[in-house]
Each structure stands twice: as C-alpha cells, then as structure tokens.
Structure 1
Amino acid sequence: MSNVETSVEAHQEVSIPARKLGDTWDGWAGEVEENNGDLETSPWYFLSFATAVLLTLTAIIWTALFLIEPRLAELPVWLSRTITMSVWGVLAAVNFMFALIVATVATGVNFVPFMKGRHIALSTIIPYSVKFGKLFGLSKDRISNSILQVGNRLTVANQGSIERDELLILLPRCLDKQTRDDIKLMTSKYDVDFHICAGGQMARQLLTEKKPKGVIAVACERDLMAGVQDVKAAVPVIAIANKRPEGPCRNTNINMTEMENAIRMYLGKELLPVDRELVEQN
C-alpha cells in the first residue's frame, strides 16, 4: 500500500469555506491556552465528575419518591410497587453500567461489550459532568480531553485487529512540518495511509468513501468531540488531541507514541511503553 496524503487540493469537489481559525474556535481572542496548549488530562477527572452527577441524580430521585410517597400510597399496592421498583431498577442499571466502565478504564479488561458501537461522548451525562468540572476550575476543553481518554480506553477494550486498508487516519491541516514528517515516516513503517482534512465535511466524505473499520482522528478537543458526536460512533474511533503551543489551528503537534500505539492496536500488535504519564490539571 502506498502512503497517501489527501489534502484540500486532492478533493476539490468538497466545498470548504475559508477560515482564519477552526469553526469551533471562532470566539478565540488570541490568548495563550492553559499549559501552553497541552491539555492532556487523566480520564479519572471525567469519571469522578460523572460519579458526582450520578450520586446527585440518585439523591434527587430518592427525595422525589419520598415527597410523593403519600400519593403513591393512594394507588393500588401493585401499581405503587411497580412504579417504585421500575424507577430504582433503571437507576441501578445505569449505576451498574457506569461501574463497569470504571472497571474497564482501571484494568483494561473488557467489562463493557455493550459499549461496542457506542461512544461515551454521546452520553446524556456529558453536559452535567462538564458543569461539575467547571465548579472545580477545569475548562470544558480539559474535561473534553478526559472524556476522549475514557472513550479511547473503551475502544481499545472492545476493538479487535483489522487490516491495514481498513484503517482510516484523519489529520488536521494545522500540524507543524516536523509532525507531518514524523507521521509520514510512521505510516510508511506500518504501510497505512493518512489523510489531511480541511474540515468535518471532508472527513465525513472520506468515511463514506473508505468505509473503514477503525479510525484514528487527530484534532483539538472541540473538533474531536463534535466529530465523534457527528458520526454517532458508527465506526470505532481513537481520538488524539493535538498540542497547541502557538494557539489553535497553527503549528500544532501530537504525542507520537500515542499515534503509534493507536496504529499498533488496530493492527493487532503489542503496544509500546507509554513515554510519559498523562498530564494532570495544572
């Protein structure tokens, strides 16, 4: 397989509006991002906030049932019990599934086969977890990075090996020259292709054309979250957030070990040792 770099010029039929920055950065005022644009964050932040959300939800439901207990007592016993048991049953199932997600992230053992074909970023708990995170001083981008870390671990746990031509690697055009050169060498080493996309429209076109069984997507946290939610986990995704020392959409870079391990995971090869720990909140 020859290494292919698909750029804007190679897909002239795709109409991409001119932009100074990425669409998700329209409100950016030019300030330097926290930690010089490296927002890599432990998955345990999101899992902690999600736990807080579920505990709060449990308390709210318990309080609601307590307050309406006199009304429930007026109903036939069988109906009152059915309502109460149904509510607690659904809540228990949600909490149990979340516990399995936590166990999978902690151990790497697949306790979540029900997550195959799904992505944690599609969960309805996400907006509430973001709000909890902000209470503790974490930006939405940092929490998004943590969510993507969780999603990556669940993908790894559920994913089997695929063929080289079944892997689709999507890169943003903002990567610096050194990073592009490094990726060219790496993809040549594993005989896989990569494609540089100008935006979501081109990425969707490539997904339609290639019909991959696995995707590695590189972008900022905002674009990655939007992309995952857009494709609705129709294909397994490993999301790699870029580092932005000069701000978004220019001269960005990535952790190359993370990229290589993503490729090796899809191809069924043993993973390399991680070259550094995840960055905690700074």
Structure 2
Amino acid sequence: MDAKKIEEGKVQTRNLGEEWEGWKGEKREDTSEGKSLFLAIGSFVVLLLDLLIIGFTYMISPRLASWHSFLPLVAWTIVTIVILMTIVWMTQIILTAVTGKNFLFLSNPLKYLFDIVFEGSFKISKFLGISKDRLGNSFVKSYNEMSRATKRHESDEKLLILLPRCLTKEQIKEITSLKERYPIEIHVVSGGELARRKIKESRPTAVIGVACERDLVSGIRDVGRKISLIGIPNKRPDGPCQNTVIEIKELIDAIEFYVGPPSQEEERSEELKWL
C-alpha cells in the first residue's frame, strides 16, 4: 500500500471537526506564531481601508463642489476624523496586545471595524501564502493579551473550561483532576455548537477554550465580545482531531489568572493524596 493510501486511511479513521472538512492528510506544519504577524497584517488592512476612503473622497469631491463649494471641506474634515480614529484604534490594539495593559478606551465606538480588519487579515494572509492556522495562532495570542488586560475580576468568578474530544486521554484525565485544586467547571465538547450550548447553560463569568486555532478563532468571534475568554491552541503531532496535546502550565496560568492560585489547604490535600 503506497503512502498516499495510508494517509487517506488515517483521515477516514479520525472524526474530523467541521473546521477541518476537506483535510487530505497534508503534512502538518508548525503553527506557533508570535503576535506580530496578526498585528502587522491588521495594521496593513487599516492602512488599505484608509487609502480607499481617501481615494473615494477624492473622486467625489468635484461632484460635491458642484453642489456647494463648502461640501468638499466638510467631507475631508469627516474623512480626517475617521482616519485618525482608525489609527488610534489600531494603535491601542497594538499597545494592549504588546504590553498587556488596557489601552482600549476607543473600542466600543469602533467594534464593527474589528470584523473588517479580521476578515481582511485572513484574506491578505491567504494571498501571501500564510496559512490561516499560523495567522489564527497569532490572532489568538493577541486576543488573549487584550482579554487579560480588559478583564474585570469578580469576587464570585465562575470559570468554565472547554476541552476538545481530540485531546489524549492522559491529558484529559490530568486536566480534569485540576478540579480538586481550583473552583472550575470542565466539559469535553465535540464542536463549536456544543461549546456554545455549554456556555449558555453554565452562564460563566469567564471561559478558557482549548482547541485548534480554527475553532478558537470561530469561538472568539461568537462569544469573545460577550464574555472574558482565553484561548489555548493545541498541538497536533498526528494531524488534526486526533491525539492533540497542550502545555498544562499554560492552562494553569490561565486558570490562576481568573481564580487565583489554590489555597494552602488545597495544596496540602493534593500533596497528601500522592503520599
């Protein structure tokens, strides 16, 4: 049996998630990426958007002048204000993502601009030959910093952790055992629809999602504006949707960001359990 048929067999035996439909067993790539990739492409999208606005205003200025000589000045004043707002908006996103401090004072008035930048970034990355998983990894890391920076902690924090079914059994068991140390709720879900249902049922104040970049990006777009969320991309040594793993320390760091470290009593009981 040749290598191609073996790979096709592997694809058929695994239960692919909806974000991975059409995967043909291609060679896996290292999707780990820094925040700078998304921030750079996002800034380029904002620049293109501003240039389009300037170009459009330039083309309609003669027509506006034919109606009234004062109208071009009004149009260019509005354009200048809009462009300054987009520059400030993108700058505060970059500062927040890089420093981890909250600079997002202008986020609500321009929240719909985020969708334009998001969609534009992925289209440009495709044109440049950058995989959506690499850009997604960069986006998730940037979003995590913004989520941490803007989070207002509550005294009765209710943290929900959503795990994918494709994690190894050993890691699911290890992660589930964290409930003995932290006040957390953990569920293994089979897809985005079930994840959204669990969030609706549990009504948490914060969510930690473990998944591939594609599912995390989709989840952030669905619920990221409504609730504090941190995404942890998994690693896929055997390809998507099978035997995936994460760095447990990364998960624990996210848990302790929301609920703090375990008390001394909980730590002591955990130590006694292993004696």
Q: TM-score, normalised by structure 1?
A: 0.79
Match of 2:153 in 1: 161
**2:239 corresponds to which letter in structure 1?**
G
Q: 2:121 aligns with which of 126, 129, 146?
A: 129
Residue 172 of structure 1: aligned partner:
164
Question: Hey, what does 1:12 align to over in structure 2?
Answer: none
Are the counterparts in 2 of residues 170 and 218 from structure 1 also a CA contact under 8 Å?
A: yes
Match of 1:50 among 38, 42, 46: 42
Give how far 1:196 is off.
Answer: 0.6
Deviates more, 1:106-115 or 1:203-212: 106-115
Alignment CA distance shift 1:175-1:119 (3 Å): farther
- Number of aligned residues: 248
Structure 2 counterpart of 1:21: 16
Task: Tell me if structure 2 keeps the 8 A contact 1:224–1:239.
Answer: yes
Specify whether residues 119 and 219 from structure 1 end up closer, same or farther in structure 2 by C-alpha distance, changes over 3 A only.
farther
3-state DSSP class of the match of 1:20? coil
> Residue 142 of structure 1: CA displacement?
1.0
CA RMSD of superposed structures (Å): 2.5
Q: Which amino acid aligns with 1:126?
A: F
Q: What residue number does 1:15 align with?
A: none
3-state SS in 2 of match to 1:195 = strand
Higher relative contact order (CA 8 A, sep 6+): 1
Inter-partner Cα distance in structure 2 for 1:246 and 1:66? 53
Corresponding residue to 1:214 among 185, 206, 215: 206
TM-fit CA distance, 1:58: 2.2
Opposite residue 27 of structure 1, the aligned amino acid is G
- 1:7 paired residue number: none
Q: Which runs of 5+ in 1 are unaligned?
A: 1-18, 271-282
User: For the Cα contact (< 8 Å) 1:119–1:151, is it kept in 2?
Assistant: no
Structure of larger gyration radius: 2
Q: 1:85 aligns with which of 64, 72, 77?
A: 77
Distance across 1 between alignment mates of 2:133 and 2:112: 16
Q: Give the distance between the partners of 2:102 and 2:157, measured in 1 at CA.
A: 26
Partner of 1:226: 218
Matches within 5 A, 1:95-110: 95-110=87-102
Cα distance change of structure 1 residues 136 and 126 upon mapping to structure 2, 3 Å threshold: same
Give the superposition deviation at 1:21: 0.9
Say whether the 8 Å CA contact 2:183–2:259 is kept in structure 1: no
- Return the letter of the residue paired with 2:20: W
Alpha-carbon separation, structure 1, partners of 2:113 and 2:171: 27
> Contact 1:161–1:268 at 8 Å: present in 2 too?
no
1:142 aligns with 2:134: yes
What TM-score comes out, normalization by structure 2 length? 0.81
Cα pair distance change 1:121/1:87, threshold 3 Å = closer
AA paired with 1:145?
A: N
**C-alpha distance in 2, partners of 1:232/1:257?**
23
Preserved CA contact (<8 Å) 2:36 2:138: yes
SS in 2 for 1:217: strand
Q: Which residue of structure 1 lines up, in the alignment, with residue 238 of structure 2?
A: 246
AA matched with 2:247: N
Identical aligned pairs, as a percentage? 36
Tell me, what secondary structure is at the counterpart of 1:31? coil
Q: SS of the residue aligned with 2:240?
A: coil
What is the match of residue 8 of structure 1? none
Q: Kindly indicate whether the alpha-carbon contact (under 8 Å) linking 1:113 and 1:158 is maintained by their aligned counterparts in 2.
A: no
